Structure 1
Amino acid sequence: MFRAIFSIGFLQIVSIAIGAVRTKVFAVLLGPSGFGVLATIDQLVLSVSQFCNLSLPDTAVKFLSRGHSISEEQFQKSYAGFIKALISLGLLATLILLIYLPPNLARIDPQLGKYRAPVSIALLGIPATMLLVFLVHVLAARQRAIASVLLTTISAAVFALFGMVGCFLAGISGVYLAVVPASSVFVTGIVIYARAKMGLRLHVPSRGNERGIKINREIIETAVANYIAVGCYSGFLLLARYLSITNLSEEAAGLLQAGLAIALSIGAVLGPTNMLYLAPYLNRVMPVETKVQSVDKFLPQLILLYCLGALPVLLFPELTLRILFSGRFIDAIGILRVLLVWQCLFQVAGIYQQLLIGLDDVKAFCLITSAGYAGAATLCIWLVGR
């Protein structure tokens, strides 16, 4: 278990390093204004993809893992159902957004109004973006967690390479002219590979209508719970940023963002071990006692590795802020320490959230998560207003 967690963490560090190189190259080639536009378009496409996938990639982990523990046939049925649903959602979302967004882009954001072409090209990459996340989870559900993270790392390297070449040749539009076709071909290749090597087809004859209805109801319940949890998390971070800039100052918002960036980066190294290693295991068919015992073994190792990663930052916060940002961010030391503790608790909470999902108690998962974020939001509003 420790080897798997360490390997996943190492590959995540590689992915983060690739992202840093990509960011550096784009910043140099495009300058502050061009880089800001590119980052905004990237965030727009990412947000739309997350909104339109209805949390199906995350939900798929539960049912693919369960199906794999029952039989290969059940796994293939689940795979076929989810991938067809995601293809349909991706194509439908792309079509609707291409019709609505480019003509109205200037109304939504005047600064982006003159970038209709790159936005339109970027929107064409939504289906591939959604399917790539799903295919990563497919490997995880087959108990191939390291391979799933390796796929993420390889895709990050490929897309970064094509993006940098496109940026060098044609600026912002060139990034998406290179990345969108590359991502589509890359994802198509993975689907073909999955069919050739793992026998995963897009269509599998179904049997037993009653079983299908039951599974569909479970899928909807789990997807809604995941959707609410993701929405609460994003909403809380948005609220924190909004309160800091409106009730405090722009400088306070910048200090908060600096602390968040460091804490979230440390959490991002180990976060995938929860989703790609622990979650698939907990959702397999096995006794409840076995699932609880696996969490008891997993938790101390994750906390140990997180503390090892956070310790240098806790010991040398001023040096960390100077290296990653500048001396003007030294005042973020206090909030940085708080956010590092928060991120540790967030990782622990995520483990027990996956346990609740693995025990098929998605209603409790949704209720507890929503109540937790509501309480945190209330506390945040009260503390900022003091």
Structure 2
Amino acid sequence: MRKLISILNPVYWTTAQEVGEAVNGYTLTGGVFRRDTQVEFATGEILRMTHIARGLDSDGALLLDIVVNGHILQLPSHADISIKDYTEDYIQTGPGQLYAQSTRMFSIDRQSVPYSWNHTISYDPSKGKMPYLVEMLQATAIGSHYHPLEEVLEFSIQASITKGERSNQCPQGFTLVSAGPYCADENECEVGNPCSHACHNAMGTYYCSCPRGLTISADGRTCQDIDECSLGGNMCHDGQDCENTIGSYRCVMRCGRGFRRTADGLSCTDVNECQESNPCNQHCLNTIGSYRCACEPGFQLRNRRCIDINECRQRVCRSDQQCKNTRGGYTCIDLCPNGMTKGANGTCVDIDECRDGTHQCRYNQICENTRGSYHCTCPRGYRSQGVGRPCVGMYILHVFFTPSPLH
């Protein structure tokens, strides 16, 4: 409770030193009023207090009833707590009505923690209004000390009240009502609706809220999705993955590598890597859950490249055929006998050695072509002396006999 010195806020507002024409709570209300307070800690706790002041008793003491409800930041009893000086604006919001607000700071072992206060005060309207639309209370030299043995908590504070920095103007979030004059709350939710979803008006301000599954973003106005999957707040089983959706999540089948989840999330289907990314420089063969790289027939894989296979080195053709390698294959070509060659139609045709000059007839021999070959002959009147030897002339002896008369 040491940090809640402001639980006595009505006391020091009532008795604050008046500066200039500003009035404190006792001057304004005669010590009879109701004050509803809400405290919001930066750590999320909310505390509500109701103070009912019933005037002074016969000894001049303020009679004050306090009802406390909510939660406060839990601190160790040995923590070093100090409360910073602060100011608080009091705004005349109507006849017999005030609104006060402030943002304060206390430190725990020299670590600062902010918390905000707002108060709604109601009193007898016949008591009149503050002399200013806005008055400012200054609280300084704040201290608290707890005595464990006596179980006594002592508070000390110095308070003064002056006119506000803009005493004749309504703060942001309020609208001037000249008939008062006083500052009436402006309903920001009706003037443009600044929230992306639900808008809630509050005194001098507003706040936005989000549907289930969404949370307010840093700007305080727009809603953003809560990723239940990353927060671990899902109820998915083993073998399932959590898939975030806007405002919720769903549990879907967990698929291994090489598989993809179907649209309904209930099963897995094979990924055809060959069609989607073609990871091979060669021929890609899809397999269930994977793929493999291979070469087309007639090629072999070498250093991640497909190299043509020279089938002719493997003697794939008959002995009477010639092998011709082609890209990815080979061709067997029938051979022609000696003295024959391939014609335009693929059949074997005779080679005329005598015409193309490839014969080996010498001297005065004559070349005579034959099918598939040729032979050398001697001219008329010559005769051959043998293979590779020149022809020699032939001499014809004509002998004439004259018959003698019979003797």
Which TM-score band applies after superposition, normalised by the shorter structure? under 0.3
Q: Radius of gyration: which is bigger? A: 2
Q: Comparing both structures, which one devotes a greater share of its residues to helix?
A: 1
What is the TM-score normalised by the length of structure 2? 0.20
Q: Comparing both structures, which one devotes a greater share of its residues to strand?
A: 2
What is the TM-score normalised by the length of structure 1? 0.21
Q: Which has the higher contact order (CA 8 A, sep 6+)?
A: 1
